[in-house]
Structure 1
Amino acid sequence: MGNKFVVVDLETTGNSPKKGDRIIQVGAVIIEDGRITGQYTSLVNPGQPIPAFIEELTGISDEMVNDAPAFSDIAKDMIEMLDGAFFVAHNVFFDLGFLQEELQNAGFEGFYGHIIDTVELSRILFPTADGYKLSDLAVREGISHDRPHQADSDAYVTAELLLIMLSRLNEFPHTTVKSLCKLSAGLKSDLYMLFDEALQRKERELEELPQDLEIMRGIALKRPFQLVKTDHKSPAYPYGREEKQNLLAKALAAFEVRNGQLEMMDQIFGAFEDGRHAMIEAGTGIGKTLAYLVPAVFFSKIYRKTIVVSTFTTQLQHQLLVNDLPKLRAMFDFPIKAVLLKGRNHYINLARFEQSLKEEDDNYDTTLSKMQIIVWLTETETGDIDELNLSSGGMIYWNKIKNGESTFIQAKHWDAWDFYLRARKEAENADLVITNHSMLLSDLNSEGSYLPEYEYAVLDEAHQFEKVAGRYFGKSLDYLSVRLLLNQLGQYEQGHLFHKLEKLLVRLGAGASFNEHTYKLNEIISGLQYETDQLFKAASLFVKRKKINPSLKNRIQIRLPDRVEGREWQALYASAERFSFMLRDVVIAIEQRFSLVERYRNQLNQEEKLFLEELFILKEELESARRTARDLILDRNGKNLRWIETDLRAVQNFTTISGRPVDISDHLKERFFEAKSSVVLTSATLTVEDSFKYIKQELGIGDMPLIEVKIPSPFRYQEQVELIVPDDLPEIKTVSEDEYIAAITEHIISIAEATEGRMLILFTSHDMLRKTYELIKESGLLEDFALIAQGITAGSRSRLTRNFQRFDKAILFGTSSFWEGVDIPGEDLSCLIIVRLPFSPPGEPLTEAKCEHIRQRGGNPFSEYSLPEAVLRFKQGFGRLVRTSTDKGIVFVFDRRVLTTSYGRAFLQSIPPVPVRKASIDKIIPFIQRWL
């Protein structure tokens, strides 16, 4: 560790030194012999005004830099400091670009020494981190970072992070460092020098392998944690109230008695014992997760039955594993065996990974991914990709090494390390198997079952089960996925899988019988690529011509009629036929070649087997794409709903053709509910106007004997929440969309100023969200607020939520997925605005088809489908505001229909009773100030 590192961070007026942006602050930290030995910081006068958003971000103003030196005055200091050192920065090419430009402007040569990028290094050494922003990594590693976006603070935090990473590198076993060293030449910064030095150090030391690691064929792996299912005396279920309370108090530090939680435990245990299905709506704050896990564990232990717990999102699965299971284990004096089980593609195939490490023609993403996985294998017990943070290019590499049926690589030596088989095996004698709705449904649909045999299940977030099932029993074909498959196959001259296959046949001496076909097949592949473009062009043209509703902007969906009629439909049908025939020809040609290669199996080397394995998976996916195209476009029996979705800004790239059964209630009833002894469905939103009728009908269990229980939230909504409907906004149906947006924008600005942000605004259309966001931005009236908008501000839902919580004055604009599953407890959120009642747009294919289906059987589509669906979404949205017993806040409903229509009361009757006020904005503002 005798190296000298100078860790630099620069604050600048913008992103581009070439366009004249300049440095406004320099921070540098010197590391020698593995410790921090010096610091340097200076403000810099850029000779130009500092933009407002940079001042907001950094806190550095024009006044502060007026008397600061110009960069040319400190350039010599920088050159001397960097002499003989590694230049280190978090996203090094940004800082280096600015430094070079400024040094050259000051008459110096610039810096040409070695560089280290701590983003690149952290991606390798922390492969499971949520994000690689400096602030995220600081939180993860417990580094205090009190002044983000100030150069001295950022440089110091980066230096501390570098020291942690250098020390981590020294903890790896020799074999891991050796593999990293071998791959590191393909990186962007000079990390190979760090890995090389670490390797030399390892080779001088006598290695003692940590107890939890094992070396297998040159790869270090974490030993699996073995929890043996032991025989124990069956526990008795705690029927008494006090017994249950004592049990929960063992696990929960701040335990408070919640009667609803105790009641829910008894209801679930009773449903399992009686072999009946149950629907339990559990209001926010009941402690629903433990209320179903505790009886599930007791029932499993007493009756020796495996219980499957299924959630909608992988986040909730993760939460169960990380937060709730440790609490559960703290309650009992017997071991609980819980296994998380996902679909096969989630797990790594180590034989394929081992072979891929021998391939050397990697692009940058593949190299980085290989290094991330080498490190990850020293820490993972599951081998599940959801733990990893791979780039999109890394996901393409994952397709090569994911678990799947092996055809050519039969590596028996890796069987004991097959993560997928291990998870399945553990699930067979587990008390609880945790999975998600998609996996549960795929189990109903597949010949080989993924899940162990089970008769008892708990479905959490059960209001989502029908939607997931609809997608699951449906199909879709999108342009980018098909093009990606064809690009992997490639034309002969592109040197991809097709080229490799033909070369292999020649090497095996089997090429003669196919050589004349290479040219022909190449032509078909080229034609297929062209036909794919034509197919999706025809699909987007169909949408454009059929676009009836002018208010539907950009992203639109149009139903495909059952009969082929009109020029556009005929063109689409003809193109799908050509696409299907060509795809069939390609698949048959590959299969013929496989059968030929099969004869020479014993002459194949490992590298050839790996590429054949990859080609086999690709062939299966091409065949699946062909079947999907046939079912979605060419099948004329018209049993399924079919539609095309596209984005008019980039039609071809964002076009998807989809289909699904309109009504899946019979499927679910026959294949799932009638086949199980007891399924408990729970969620905070299952009833509409106190009735489970709608959800039972959707799931096909309306005529089955069910236990139905509604457990209200323990929160004091009457005191914690006010619901306000402004009466000076126009009726949504009486004005144009632009007028409505202008009116609500004014209200949002006034409310934001009164609440000081901490506001979530829920929209039903992304287009309205975007226009409102832009109008607020243009007004300049909320310049000191952080405006975070789904689909506009980059990042996943959870990242947007984290950013929202980071700022004191913030407004979060959300659509669809923000109506539920966003948890912002405490004072971070004190105001919720619901812009419109969340009815599905009438032109949406699924809504249209469901309404037709109801009409055909003589029902009322509005009261049986549109209204209950909107009410459930409204309840979900309402549930975002109060997440703890001390939260307090205001809900605004901008849509006056909630008070002016007869159906409006269905919305208000379905949420907890809260005071409802109707007032104009000038009366609302003083009220907000008093209330909050």
Structure 2
Amino acid sequence: MGNKFVVIDLETTGNSPKKGDKIIQFAAVVIKNGKIIEEYSSFINPGKPIPPFIEELTGLDDEIVHDAPVFSEIAPKVHTLLEDAYFVAHNVLFDLSFLQEELIEAGYNGFYGPVLDTVELSRILMPTADSFQLSELAQREGLNHERPHQADSDAYVTAELLLRLLVRLEKLPLNTTKQIHKLSGSLKSDLDLLLDNIIIQKESSIEYLQDDLDIHHGIALKRTLDQIDYKNHEEIEFPTQQSQKIELFKKAFPAYEIRSGQFSMMDSVYGALTQKKHAIIEAGTGVGKSLAYLIPAVIFGKEIGQPVIVSTYTTNLQAQLLSNDIPKLQKMLPFPLKAVLLKGRNHYLSLAKFEQTLKDKDDNYDTVLTKMQILVWLTETNTGDIDELNLSSGGMIYWNKIKNDEAIFLQNKSWLSRDFYYRARKAALKSDIIITNHALLLSDLVADNKILPEYSHVVIDEGHHFVKASGKHFGSTLDYLHTRFLLGRIGHLEQKQLLYKLEQIIEKEEISDYKLIHSFELNQMMNELLFEMDELFKIIGVFTKKKTRSRKGYNRINCRISADEASKEWKAVEASAERFLFLLKDFYTELNNRLDFISSIKDHLSAREKSFMEELVTLCIELEEIMLVIKKAILHPSKDYVIWIELDIRSMQNATTIYAQPIEVGDILKQDFFEKKESVIITSATLSVKNSFHYILNELGLKPIDCSVEQIPSPFDYEEQIKLFIPEDLPEVNAVPIEEYVTAISEHIISIAEATKGRMLILFTSHEMLRKTYELIKESGFLDDYAIIAQGVSSGSRSRLTRNFQKFDKAILLGTNSFWEGVDIPGEDLSCLIIIRLPFSPPDDPYTEAKCDQIKQSGGNAFSDYSLPDAIIRFKQGFGRLIRTRSDKGFIFIFDRRIITTHYGKAFLESIPKIPIIKSKIDGMIDTIKKSMN
């Protein structure tokens, strides 16, 4: 660390110095010999007004910078600081471009020394970080960052981050360092200069490889952990008595409080497993259902010598089970517990493919950066699971080349013992619990090469999603961009993509025994295929626009296609699809003929050629799937499927997707799943409607005789912990224009926020209404001292928006669909929940429309049999966001007056715990809140 680094951060009036934007704050932190030796910062008068959004972001206004120096006055100091130094910044090109302009304007030559970008370095050296924003990285590393978007604070935190990154860089094994050095020419940072010194130091002394690392084919990997022998273990019987259960739980929870519901669920799960029965168990929030099914599942698995599968819908729950519940369970049990997470094969890295592509010369920035990330990650990962990595969209394109699949050409046995996928499967065979997701569980039902080991017993958590996951799995999609991308990867001969590489191999070989068409003909077929594909999606766009009226303010439109669609425009779609399919079949056949030939001479191929062919085999499988979708969705649609088109009217062709999905999955699940398994236990906090399981049983294809059902109430005292308000001075949601309704609810939200001091989650069913409400609240100025975070408006994923919400004392979070469940904000961070509308699916949603039509045709009532219970399940999920622990307290507002003015409204209230309901005007409610909070 003997180099000099100057870490710079600037606050500016905008994003472009070329357009006249200026610096308003400069900060520099100097690092030498691994220590911070100097700090310097100054406000700068930009000679122009600071825009309001910059004021809001930085807290800097015209008054603060009025008496500050202009940049030319501090330019000598800046120039001196940067002498013989690395210029370092978080997104270095932004800061450097501003500083160059200002230095040149002040009469200096500008900075032309080496630069380092801490965003880039973080991506390489912290490849598993959730985010590469400075504030998120600071939190991850435990760095104090009190004033984000203030240059002095940002520069200091960036300097601390740089010091940690340099330590990580120096600790990398020599092999990894050299490989990164070889790739570093495509980076923004002058990383090669730093690495030159590190490599010289490492080569000049004896470097001992860390004990937990291994070198194979020149690649440094984390060493495989020795497997514990799980065969010999102390026996344990299921604790049937309450005293036995208490004794068991106290091993992990010394201050354990008895939860009768948890004990009841343990008995029910164990009973279903041992009696070979299916069970539906609704366990309210706070029951502790994870351990209530894990304990009996592990004990039963030991008894029969087989692992029990636990399937979840979300990765969040998988992570919670592995990091939180399994370690606690281990403390309870007298034997080593083996729990593994098993995912689909494509989730795992193929080391053979990675080794080969590492040698490829590729200047693509995202590819090079991703290779570096993976080289570092391989020194850390035990799993090789893509979900650990934070890759760019360009990085994901590279991942598709190196993901694990059934290798035909690259059968490199030297990697087999280290192959992540085979290791995961081997571990699963020896495990007590296999944690997986609904998608893999469903895929394995019909797969020829099964990933999960043989199993007869499964627990399905987040069971209210199982039907939805089944519909998506048994359905299929045809997407323009994906199809275009696949064909583009095969490419024309002149593009020197895979088709060119294929022909290069064939030209070298004797092919007298194979009848292969000339490469020119194959190239012509590709040209025709691309033309027909573009035509097909253009015609689909014309059809969709004509059939669907786009609504003002909506860019995305969808339209459902009936199985007997006979319009002239649809006939044009069918004709185009037939032409495209005909060409695709011919092209696919010719590709396969070539692959058959090359497979017969694969021993002649170089490792690089085998890698190309492996990629082509994967693409052929995907082309086969496209042909099946065209038949299923366009040419031969079934009346049992719902077919619909979605497109973005701003870019119709590029953003067009066709979906085909079974309307009912119950029969498929019953025949292929429930009837083939001895015991399936489905659990969730939201399975019943008005204390009845009729709806979920019907959706799953089950009858009451097929399984046991049980409702285990939450141990929370909802009557003491929640007050539910239904304002009487709001208009009916469907009785007034949306603008009038938004104005009314915005006024109420402002009043409630001022009374509760924020800490509020507002659930919408419409992005349009959310956006209009957000804009109106911001424009009002009444909540200027609140952090207002809105899904689809504020940038970031759901988890990032939630984390941002929790950072502020006075915060309001507006969310739609995904925020109705899976958001866990315990304690005082959340004390108020507002439900804007009852969460009915839109009647013009293609799946809802098809489902309702099918129910009507069979003589049922679409509203009471589907629309209402589906909305109630979602309503219960939304209701569950507020109270997550025994100590939580809060207020729920329901703005949709249909809950009290319609005959079906009471069904929603009857499906949640009994709580006090207050109906009055908003002023009276505000008084009640203030009294409660005092």
- Secondary structure at the aligned position of 1:409 is classed as coil
CA contact (8 A) 1:184 1:195 kept: no
Task: For residues 578-611 of structure 1, give each alpha carbon's deviation from its aligned partner in whole angstroms, at most 9, with x where no partner exists.
Answer: 1111111221121122233334433321111111
Q: Percent identity?
A: 57
Structure 2, gaps ≥5 residues long: none
- Secondary structure at the aligned position of 1:11 is classed as strand
Match of residue 53 from structure 1: 53
Match of residue 176 from structure 2: 176
Pairwise mapping of residues 422-501 of structure 1 onto structure 2 (< 5 A)?
A: 422-501=423-502
Which stretch of structure 1 is more off in the superposition, 622-631 or 682-691? 622-631
**For the structure 1 residues 307 and 515, does the alpha-carbon distance in structure 2 shift closer, same or farther, using more than 3 Å as the test?**
closer
Separation in structure 2 between the aligned mates of residue 241 and residue 593 of structure 1, nearest angstrom: 68
How many residue pairs get matched?
932
Name the aligned partner's letter for residue 6 of structure 1. V
Match of residue 921 from structure 2: 920
> How many Å apart are 1:636 and its aligned residue?
4.7
> How many Å apart are 1:415 and its aligned residue?
0.8
Task: For residues 772-821 of structure 1, give each alpha carbon's deviation from its aligned partner in whole angstroms, at most 9, with x where no partner exists.
Answer: 22333333433333222222222211111112212233222211111111
1:25 and 2:25 correspond:
yes
Match of residue 870 from structure 1: 871
Name the aligned partner's letter for residue 299 of structure 1. F
Match of residue 104 from structure 1: 104
- Secondary structure at the aligned position of 1:481 is classed as helix
Separation in structure 2 between the aligned mates of residue 273 and residue 320 of structure 1, nearest angstrom: 23
Task: For residues 111-146 of structure 1, give each alpha carbon's deviation from its aligned partner in whole angstroms, at most 9, with x where no partner exists.
Answer: 111000011011111111111111111121222222
Task: For residues 728-776 of structure 1, give each alpha carbon's deviation from its aligned partner in whole angstroms, at most 9, with x where no partner exists.
Answer: 1111222233332232222223322332322211111222222222333
Task: For residues 289-338 of structure 1, give each alpha carbon's deviation from its aligned partner in whole angstroms, at most 9, with x where no partner exists.
Answer: 12211221222223323110000011211221122211211222310011
Match of residue 546 from structure 2: 545
CA contact (8 A) 1:645 1:656 kept: yes
Task: For residues 225-281 of structure 1, give each alpha carbon's deviation from its aligned partner in whole angstroms, at most 9, with x where no partner exists.
Answer: 223313123212222223322322322376433222222222212221222111111
Separation in structure 2 between the aligned mates of residue 549 and residue 25 of structure 1, nearest angstrom: 46
Separation in structure 2 between the aligned mates of residue 742 and residue 492 of structure 1, nearest angstrom: 60
Separation in structure 2 between the aligned mates of residue 253 and residue 551 of structure 1, nearest angstrom: 60
**For the structure 1 residues 567 and 742, does the alpha-carbon distance in structure 2 shift closer, same or farther, using more than 3 Å as the test?**
farther
Separation in structure 2 between the aligned mates of residue 840 and residue 751 of structure 1, nearest angstrom: 27
Match of residue 120 from structure 1: 120
Separation in structure 1 between the aligned mates of residue 86 and residue 746 of structure 2, nearest angstrom: 51
- Secondary structure at the aligned position of 1:610 is classed as helix
- Secondary structure at the aligned position of 1:31 is classed as strand
- Secondary structure at the aligned position of 2:282 is classed as strand
Match of residue 62 from structure 2: 62
CA contact (8 A) 2:234 2:334 kept: no
Separation in structure 1 between the aligned mates of residue 794 and residue 655 of structure 2, nearest angstrom: 20
CA contact (8 A) 2:550 2:557 kept: no
Pairwise mapping of residues 256-655 of structure 1 onto structure 2 (< 5 A)?
A: 256-508=257-509, 517-547=518-548, 550=551, 553-655=554-656
Name the aligned partner's letter for residue 149 of structure 1. H
Separation in structure 1 between the aligned mates of residue 712 and residue 640 of structure 2, nearest angstrom: 39
CA contact (8 A) 1:505 1:511 kept: no
Separation in structure 1 between the aligned mates of residue 143 and residue 31 of structure 2, nearest angstrom: 17
CA contact (8 A) 1:502 1:511 kept: no
Task: For residues 203-244 of structure 1, give each alpha carbon's deviation from its aligned partner in whole angstroms, at most 9, with x where no partner exists.
Answer: 112121121111111011112222331312321222222332
Match of residue 666 from structure 2: 665
**For the structure 1 residues 587 and 144, does the alpha-carbon distance in structure 2 shift closer, same or farther, using more than 3 Å as the test?**
same
Task: For residues 660-692 of structure 1, give each alpha carbon's deviation from its aligned partner in whole angstroms, at most 9, with x where no partner exists.
Answer: 111110111111111112111111101100111
Separation in structure 2 between the aligned mates of residue 512 and residue 673 of structure 1, nearest angstrom: 50
Task: For residues 864-883 of structure 1, give each alpha carbon's deviation from its aligned partner in whole angstroms, at most 9, with x where no partner exists.
Answer: 11110000000001111111
Match of residue 89 from structure 1: 89
CA contact (8 A) 2:6 2:88 kept: yes
Name the aligned partner's letter for residue 759 of structure 1. M
What TM-score, normalized to structure 2?
0.97
Separation in structure 2 between the aligned mates of residue 550 and residue 599 of structure 1, nearest angstrom: 57
Match of residue 10 from structure 2: 10
> How many Å apart are 1:101 and its aligned residue?
1.4
> How many Å apart are 1:713 and its aligned residue?
1.2
Structure 1, gaps ≥5 residues long: none
CA contact (8 A) 2:637 2:643 kept: no
Match of residue 76 from structure 2: 76
Separation in structure 1 between the aligned mates of residue 547 and residue 718 of structure 2, nearest angstrom: 47
CA contact (8 A) 1:506 1:512 kept: no
Name the aligned partner's letter for residue 175 of structure 1. N
**For the structure 1 residues 589 and 474, does the alpha-carbon distance in structure 2 shift closer, same or farther, using more than 3 Å as the test?**
same
> How many Å apart are 1:40 and its aligned residue?
1.3
- Secondary structure at the aligned position of 1:45 is classed as coil
Name the aligned partner's letter for residue 871 of structure 2. A
- Secondary structure at the aligned position of 2:537 is classed as helix
Task: For residues 129-167 of structure 1, give each alpha carbon's deviation from its aligned partner in whole angstroms, at most 9, with x where no partner exists.
Answer: 111111111121222222222222211111111111111
Separation in structure 2 between the aligned mates of residue 174 and residue 69 of structure 1, nearest angstrom: 48
Separation in structure 2 between the aligned mates of residue 13 and residue 187 of structure 1, nearest angstrom: 28
**For the structure 1 residues 708 and 551, does the alpha-carbon distance in structure 2 shift closer, same or farther, using more than 3 Å as the test?**
farther
Separation in structure 1 between the aligned mates of residue 688 and residue 473 of structure 2, nearest angstrom: 24
What do you get for the CA RMSD once the two structures are aligned? 1.9
**For the structure 1 residues 511 and 802, does the alpha-carbon distance in structure 2 shift closer, same or farther, using more than 3 Å as the test?**
farther
CA contact (8 A) 1:790 1:800 kept: yes
**For the structure 1 residues 552 and 37, does the alpha-carbon distance in structure 2 shift closer, same or farther, using more than 3 Å as the test?**
closer
Match of residue 744 from structure 2: 743
Match of residue 223 from structure 2: 223
Separation in structure 1 between the aligned mates of residue 331 and residue 91 of structure 2, nearest angstrom: 43
Match of residue 141 from structure 1: 141
What TM-score, normalized to structure 1?
0.97
Match of residue 896 from structure 1: 897
Name the aligned partner's letter for residue 142 of structure 2. G
Match of residue 166 from structure 1: 166
Match of residue 911 from structure 1: 912
Pairwise mapping of residues 657-806 of structure 1 onto structure 2 (< 5 A)?
A: 657-806=658-807
- Secondary structure at the aligned position of 1:704 is classed as helix
Pairwise mapping of residues 185-200 of structure 1 onto structure 2 (< 5 A)?
A: 185-200=185-200
Which stretch of structure 1 is more off in the superposition, 506-515 or 310-319? 506-515
- Secondary structure at the aligned position of 1:682 is classed as strand
Name the aligned partner's letter for residue 592 of structure 1. N
Match of residue 153 from structure 1: 153
> How many Å apart are 1:552 and its aligned residue?
9.1
